[in-house]
Amino acid sequence: MPPLFRRALVAFSAAILLAGCEAPAPTFNATDVTGAPYGRQLAMTDHNGQPRTLEDFRGKVVTLFFGFTQCPDVCPTSLSNMAEVMRLLGPDADRVQALFVTVDPERDTQALLAEYMPVFDPRFVGLYGSLEQTAEVAKEFRVFYRKSGDTSGMNYTIDHSAGTYVFDTQGRMRLYLKHGETPENIAADIRQLLEGR
């Protein structure tokens, strides 16, 4: 066998072996948005009155949902599903932080969020800001929201995006969960992120 051919064969064989050693790419139930050019900055106040950024939760998988406390169905359903995810994760749930950003800062006060969040899970954190901050964060995350119904007073409702963003332990946005995803599928995706996938 000519030396040049032998070297090429050895190099090819080594490449095949190395390819076989690489970890398979993760397969998620949710939409993989890794590398998206948005959803990188968040600066709001939590329901205990503390300023918060995404950096505060580095080391945990973070879920981020936008809604409002007077929402009749989508918001409580999403938060209830996330509470079930935490139950399914067992001890690993302590490595997950669920965040709820209100798109209704006129009605969702710190005190109201402080009462609302523990109804679902005492570890959940509600975030709020001024009208301007809320608009800025919603724009950063490409979240749609607008008042509807009787907008002349305080009896309005709010139409809004209903998905949830998921960040890995390094603070990178990785997944987008569509409304209605099952807790079992969400828990499976979060486990992969906790494993560093």
Least confident of 8-12, 70-74, 91-95, 104-108: 8-12
| H-type alpha helices, 40-109 | 74-89
Confidence of residue 8 (pLDDT cuts 50, 70, 90): very low
Q: Can you read off the two tokens belonging to residue 126?
A: 């509600």
Is-contact 68 106, C-beta < 8 A?
no
Specify binding-site residues for Cu cation: 71, 75, 160
Half-sphere exposure of 120 (CA within 13 A, CB side): 25
> What pLDDT, on the 0 to 100 scale, is given for residue 22?
55
Q: What's this model's pTM, rounded to 2 decimal places?
A: 0.85
Q: What percent of the chain has pLDDT over 70?
A: 87
Q: What is the CA radius of gyration of the chain?
A: 21
pLDDT tens digits for 155-183? 899 999 999 999 999 999 999 999 989 99
Give the C-alpha separation, 75 to 12, whole Å.
Answer: 54
Q: Can you read off the two tokens belonging to residue 93?
A: 């749930």
Domains and CATH numbers, the chain: 28-194 (3.40.30.10)
Q: Can you read off the two tokens belonging to residue 120?
A: 């679902």
> Pseudo-torsion of CA 127, 163, 165, 68, nearest 10°?
0
Specify binding-site residues: 71, 75, 160
pLDDT tens digits for 46-76? 999 999 999 999 999 999 999 999 998 899 9
